[in-house]
Amino acid sequence: MGHARLTASTLPPVRGTLKADAPLAPLVWFKAGGTAQWLFEPKDADDLSDFMAMLDPAMPVMALGLGSNLIVRDGGVPGVVVRLGKPFAKVEALDATTLRCGGGASGILVSSTARDAGIAGLEFLRSIPGTVGGFVRMNGGAYGRETADILVECDLVLRSGEQVTLLNSDLHYSYRHSNLTDGAVVVSATFRGEPGEPAGIQAEMDRIATAREESQPLRSKTGGSTFKNPDGHKAWALVDEAGCRGLALGGAQVSDKHTNFLLNTGDATSSDIESLGEEVRRRVKEKSGVELEWEIQRVGRK
C-alpha cells in the first residue's frame, strides 16, 4: 500500500501522538487484523477538533474504543483511527444522580464511580467490556438496561472538526444502534441514574458479574455478541439450532459456551473470523429462514 510512505508532516500537527502503520491487533479483543494507516491519540478534545478540521476531508476517520465489538480486517484500516487514551478516561459525579464520563472511560470505571457516589442504575455497564464512546455509539446494554436509558447528552467532535453536544433524543436510539455519523468521535457523555445505597449497588454489580462469568467466554479472544437478536428470536438459539455450536474455520470457532460468540482459538486471521460468521449466517438462513444481522462492526480492507 502506498499509504506507508506518507509521513506525519503530510498531516496536520498534533499535540498528542500520531503513528503511521500502527498494528491494531493488540488493541482489539479478537487479537487479529491489520494496521491503521494512522493511529491518533489526541491530547484533548481541542487537539482532536483542530486535527479533524485541517485534515483532508477525503481521509476517513474512525474511533476505536477497546475493540470489544470489532473485526479489523486483515488489509488494515485506511485513514485515521482515533483512540482516546488517558486524557479521556476520567469519570466524576456531578450531583446525586449524574456522572460526567470521558469517552475513553471503561464500563467498570463508570459503574464503580457510580457506586461510590451512591448512584444506582448504571450497574449493567460493569459487564460490558467497552468504553463510554463505544456504549454511546452502539447503545450498549445488558440485563434489561441500555445506554439509551441513562444517557443525558454527549459531546462529539464531528469529522469536520466542529464540536457539538447532542441530547439523547438526537441519537434516535434503537436496539444496539444510534444514528451517529461516520467519523464522529464521542469525547464525553453525561449519564443519569437514581440515588442508591453503595452496598446495594455493589451487590447488583456482583450479581451481574457472576451471571456473566457463567454464561460467556470472558477470557477468550472474542468480539462479544456477533449477531443482533432478530425480532422475536434469540440469535444464540438460531445459531445452535442450525448446528453451528463449536463450528470451526481456520483459527476461528463458534463458542461452545455461548453460540452467539465467535472465538479466535489461537492464530485466526480476521478473514477466518468473518468467513465463519458468514457461514453461520448462511446455515441459519437455510435452517430457519431468518437473516441474522451482524452486531459486530467490521472495518477496513479484506
Ligand X SMILES: Cc1cc2nc3c(=O)[nH]c(=O)nc-3n(C[C@H](O)[C@H](O)[C@H](O)COP(=O)(O)OP(=O)(O)OC[C@H]3O[C@@H](n4cnc5c(N)ncnc54)[C@H](O)[C@@H]3O)c2cc1C
Residue 295 appears among annotated catalytic residues: yes
Count other Cβ atoms within 10 Å, centred on residue 229. 18
Q: Which residues pair with 167 in a beta bridge?
A: 153
- In the complex, minimum distance from the CB of residue 29 to ligand X, in angstroms, rounded to a whole number: 5
DSSP string, 83-137: E--GGG--EEE-SSSEEEEETT-BHHHHHHHHHHTTEES-GGGGG--SBHHHHHH
User: Integer distance in angstroms from the first to the last C-alpha of the chain?
Assistant: 13
- In the complex, minimum distance from the CB of residue 43 to ligand X, in angstroms, rounded to a whole number: 15
Task: Single out the catalytic residue among 159, 176, 281, 283.
Answer: 176
By beta-carbon proximity to ligand X, the closer residue of 55 and 66 is 66
Cell digits of residue 179:
444514528
- In the complex, minimum distance from the CB of residue 182 to ligand X, in angstroms, rounded to a whole number: 9
By beta-carbon proximity to ligand X, the closer residue of 118 and 123 is 123
Alpha-carbon gap, residue 126 to 240, rounded angstroms: 27
- In the complex, minimum distance from the CB of residue 286 to ligand X, in angstroms, rounded to a whole number: 27
Residue 174 appears among annotated catalytic residues: no
Write phi, then psi, for 301 (nearest 5 degrees): -95, 145
By beta-carbon proximity to ligand X, the closer residue of 43 and 287 is 43
| Sheet of strand 35-41, all strands in order from the earlier edge strand to the far edge | 17-23, 35-41, 77-83, 61-64
By beta-carbon proximity to ligand X, the closer residue of 77 and 242 is 77
- In the complex, minimum distance from the CB of residue 268 to ligand X, in angstroms, rounded to a whole number: 15
Helix axis angle for 107-116 and 198-215, nearest 10°, is 150
Residue 100 appears among annotated catalytic residues: no
Nearest residue to 161 via CA among 51, 242, 44, 247 = 51
Task: Single out the catalytic residue among 178, 188, 225, 270.
Answer: 225
Nearest residue to 176 via CA among 216, 130, 222, 219 = 130
Q: Could you list the residues that contact ligand X (CB under 6 A)?
A: 29, 62-70, 84, 103, 127-131, 133-135, 137-138, 140-142, 185-186, 216, 218, 222-225, 297
By beta-carbon proximity to ligand X, the closer residue of 134 and 193 is 134
Which residues have a catalytic role annotated?
176, 225, 295
